[in-house]
Structure 1
Amino acid sequence: MMSWMDRIREAIELAGRSGVTEMEFRDGGFHIRLSRNSTPSTSVALVPPPSTQTLGPAGDPAISAALPRVVEKVRPSGHIISAPAYGIFHQRPAPGSPPFVVVGDRVEQGQQVGLMESMKVFSAIEADASGTVMELLALDGEEVDAGAPLLRLL
């Protein structure tokens, strides 16, 4: 049987691979909401179950009041290029060399925009869309999870 932490890890991985931006789970007394936006992290909110005194029919204001409010952030427009797997993101082919792309560069679909290092194996990260680099969302040499945003194109 999987622990709830294993389930959270699996859900985060699935969200990263599928492009889903939001998931919600309820299991017994646990309520978990996963939400992904353009920042380099995935937020995980663990909400304690309401006490048995506040339980009531669905939509009961007592239940709604017991759950925290989630404020929706404005998501910037554009296309996000995400990490294909867990590893270390590299913006340049070798130390001291110029980066693959910088803010303002025009990239074409299939163009290499970075490298992913995982277990001493380097894999090319290619743009899955064409556009102009508007923002670098991961630092050179930063450890990132699968699905983490790396670049934003417009």
Structure 2
Amino acid sequence: MDLSKIKTLIDFVGRSNITELSVTEKDVTVRIFRMLPGQEAAAETQQEAGSTTNPARDAGADTPSRPEKTDAVKAPVFGVLHRTPAPGEPPFVTIGDKVEEGQTLFIIEAMKVFNTIAAPRAGRITHLTEVDDGEVETGDLLAEIG
């Protein structure tokens, strides 16, 4: 892939609403990422909101809660979320499944490119999105691993 084509792709990403573009030509793959204004601040705000205390839990209330240490798996790009490898097949994961780091959880189809979404660490699936074969936005919560 020549430099002028890469510059054109960078300009395209800069002018569009997409935050990630992956293009493969022969044996070369170019991935371009763009951070939208406020994305970093939104992530910090969510993190701070999650660190508040829960008086009911602290008092030993008998309510079910999510594990203390969970990792959120969020959509890195806008696209169509697929929870199964192919139509009619079982989903990659279900709530309660044990997963290994790097294990495929979802596929997001964006601009005819299939992006594999992998587990960031080993653990157990404690939350899954209801979306299947529907659109997700960048930053949408897809799963939690406890």
TM bin (shorter chain): 0.5 to 0.7
Q: Using the alignment, how far apart are the partners of 1:95 and 1:36 within structure 2?
A: 35
Equivalent residue for 2:72? 80
Say if 2:44 is the partner of 1:21: yes
Q: Matched residue of 2:94: which SS?
A: coil
Give the C-alpha shift of residue 145 in structure 1: 1.5
Structure 1 residue aligned with 2:133 = 141
Q: Deviations 1:34-93 (Å, cap 9, x if unpaired)?
A: x5799xxxxxxxxxxxxxxxxxxxxxxxxxxxxxxxxx7969541111111111111001
What is the TM-score with the length of structure 2 in the denominator? 0.57
Query: How many residues get paired?
Result: 98
2:37 aligns with: 11
Structure 1 residues 100, 37: closer, same or farther in 2, change over 3 A?
A: farther
1:117 aligns with 2:113: no
Gaps of 5+ in 1: 1-8, 23-34, 39-71
Superposition CA RMSD, Å: 2.9
Deviation per CA, 1:84-131: give whole Å up to 9, x if none.
111111100111000000011000111111101001211111111111
* Distance change >3 Å, CA 153–CA 37, structure 1 → 2: farther
Cα displacement (A) at 1:147: 1.8
Decide whether aligned partners of structure 1 residues 122 and 94 sit closer, same or farther in structure 2, where only a CA change above 3 A counts. same
Q: Which has the higher helix share?
A: 2
Q: Secondary structure at the match of 1:103?
A: coil
**Cα distance between partner residues in 1 of 2:79 and 2:53:** 27
Question: Which runs of 5 or more residues in structure 2 are unaligned?
Answer: 1-34, 55-64
User: Taking every aligned residue pair, what percent have the same amino acid on both sides?
Assistant: 34
- Letter in structure 1 aligned against 2:142: L
1:86·1:118 contact (CA, 8 Å) conserved in 2? yes
User: Which aligned segments of 4 or more residues in structure 1 are displaced greater than 6 angstroms?
Assistant: 72-75
Deviation larger for 132-141 or 99-108: 132-141
Where does residue 98 of structure 1 map in the other structure?
Answer: 90
